[in-house]
Amino acid sequence: MMTPCPVCGKPVDTLRARAVSVRDGKVVAYCSQECKATTETQPVRTPVPDPAAPLVGKVPTEEYSAPVIEILHEPASGVVTSAPDRRDADAPPTQTASSSAAGSTTIPDAKAPKDAKDPKAAKDPKPAKSAKPAKPAEDARPAKDAKPAPAATSTPTATKKAPPRTFDVEAGSESPVAGFRLDEFKSYQPDDASPKTSAGRKAAIAIIVLLVAGGGIALVYRMLSTSNAATHVAHTPDAMVKVEAPAPDAAVAQIVPAEVLERAKALLHAQMSSPIPRIARTAATILSRAKDPAALDAIAALIPAEDNETGKIDDAYALGRAGDKRGVEFLAGKLGGADREHKLGAATKLAMLGDKRGTDALNNYLEYAQFQMTTALLLAANKDPRGIKVLDAILVDPKATADDKASATIGLFVGGRTTLAPNVRAFLDDTRFNVKAALALASLREVAARDTLVKLLAVFSLRVAAARGLRLLEPTIDAAPLLPVLVAALASTKDTEQQTAAEAILILVGPAELAAYE
């Protein structure tokens, strides 16, 4: 089924469209990656959630995707249970800190006793009425008015247990994670300390030192490797390792456009042998622009095997763009078919090639509202007076939308209405029309389009159109300053980015005639 492109209005087969997106739960088909990218480059406003709104009990949505914060409450008893620990045997029964809780934070329940937050309460702990304090060790004698143990303690012996540990927040030398004083920890050793245990600790320390040293060596090696990658670009055609782009000045000095062109062609030839049909077909289509014989034969062989008429029309256009008569004749033959959508598709491709048979057939579609804009723009680009008349009518129509008037302005400028140049230049700052405006200005050698086109080279879905515009603007352009971003893209791990970069290189470095058609 053919539907109009939501950006330019060109008819698109929703089942064969190569550029689609999902908007409001529906699949939207575009006639090209440029039109799709035009909608994707518009800024999206994300509503900001009310900071005063409570987070507890809310499920994150698309509008608010902050991480979920789970609040853990302590039991009403105020006691955190954990696996038995030898060091906790001597702690006061109301102590809530546990070595198993290291590195985590527990938010006390709102119903916990108020004095649990008071530092002074640590000196006179009072368990809640419903809480049953843990049974203290035999040698632990907690008293109601117990005082913190002194920081300095004698080293325990085999027959004497370690002194009770305290947690004094006001002392300033506590360890909140472990639940006892740091100076006490330094002087404390377990009763069963033995030479064997000490040897084990020494071995563990030695292993840690070795790991740290090894990590340092690895870090230095990584830094050196990164530094080297900043100035090196892999030259293998099937390179899949993404390297960082070098500094612009250094990159331009190292780039030889002819070598980059050969590398792009080698990559595309390698992809033509890919077991993935999509990759192989796209690579052949790109190479057909450069009139590569192997690519042209591969595309010609695809047409009979293609089970979709829209796909056959696209393949035929690729042949016709390269001057291959097999493609042009196939398109002309479709004009006499019974299917209106296929006839329109073939007429559109012929008009894009400048074939009069296509423009004559397109005039039959000017009366259809869904095809009127696309048809009028193609006719105006071919200097057909019937298309120009329709665009003039849109400009003065009070019911026409601002977008339709903008498209009509650009179309009339391409059709020869050079007085509209200031209006077209104004669209360079509009992300919805800057691509079409820049291409229109470039086709008439308007230098104002250059900066916009150079920026668009960095967008992988728009770089082919940008390369065409730059080559139309300057047929004898010095491509070396424009190639660093494309050379870096050739080393991408994404085949789509590699292919668009290779096609842009073909257009910028190859013969100027490669930029004549889309």
Per the structure, how many domains does the chain have?
2
Q: How many CA atoms lie within 13 A of 433 on its CB side?
A: 21
Q: Determine, yes or no, domain membership for 514.
A: no
- Catalogue the long-range contacts made by 23-30 (C-beta closer than 8 Å, 24 or more residues apart): 29/3, 29/5, 30/5, 30/6
Which structure tokens are listed for 66? 């902050």
Q: What is the pLDDT of residue 212?
A: 59
The CA distance from 37 to 486, in Å, is 18
| pTM greater than 0.75 (yes/no) | no
End of a domain among 365, 397, 427?
A: 365
Residue 87 lies in a domain: no
Question: How many other CB atoms sit within 10 Å of the CB of residue 423?
Answer: 16
The pLDDT of residue 155 is: 44
Three-class secondary structure of residue 386 per DSSP: helix
Per-residue pLDDT 10s for the chain (518 aa) are 678 888 887 888 777 777 888 777 777 888 887 788 777 655 444 444 444 544 444 444 444 344 444 455 445 444 444 445 444 444 444 444 333 333 433 334 444 444 444 444 444 444 444 444 444 444 444 444 445 444 444 444 444 444 444 444 344 433 343 333 334 333 334 444 444 445 666 666 666 666 655 655 555 445 444 433 333 333 333 333 333 444 445 556 678 999 999 999 999 999 999 999 999 999 999 999 999 999 999 999 999 988 889 999 999 999 999 999 999 999 999 999 888 999 999 999 999 999 999 999 999 999 999 999 999 999 999 999 999 999 999 999 999 999 999 999 999 999 999 999 999 999 999 999 999 999 999 999 999 999 999 999 999 899 999 999 999 999 999 999 999 999 999 999 999 999 999 999 999 999 999 999 99
User: For residue 302, is it within any domain?
Assistant: yes
435: in domain = no
**Residue 103: DSSP 8-state:** T
Specify the pLDDT at position 12: 80
Residue 214 lies in a domain: no
Does the residue 342 lie in any domain? Answer: yes
Domain edge (last residue) among 329, 347, 365: 365
Q: Which domain holds residue 360?
A: 273-365
Q: 3-class SS at 19?
A: strand
Assigned token pair, 90? 């001597």
What pLDDT score was predicted for residue 37? 76
DSSP 318: H
| Structure token pair of residue 383 | 């200097």
| 277 lies in some domain | yes
The confidence score (pLDDT) of residue 273 equals 95
Rounded Cα distance, 106 and 78, in Å: 11
Residue 294 lies in a domain: yes
Q: Is 41 left (phi over 0), alpha (psi -120 to 50) or beta?
A: alpha
> DSSP assignment, residue 180?
E
User: What pLDDT, on the 0 to 100 scale, is given for residue 449?
Assistant: 96
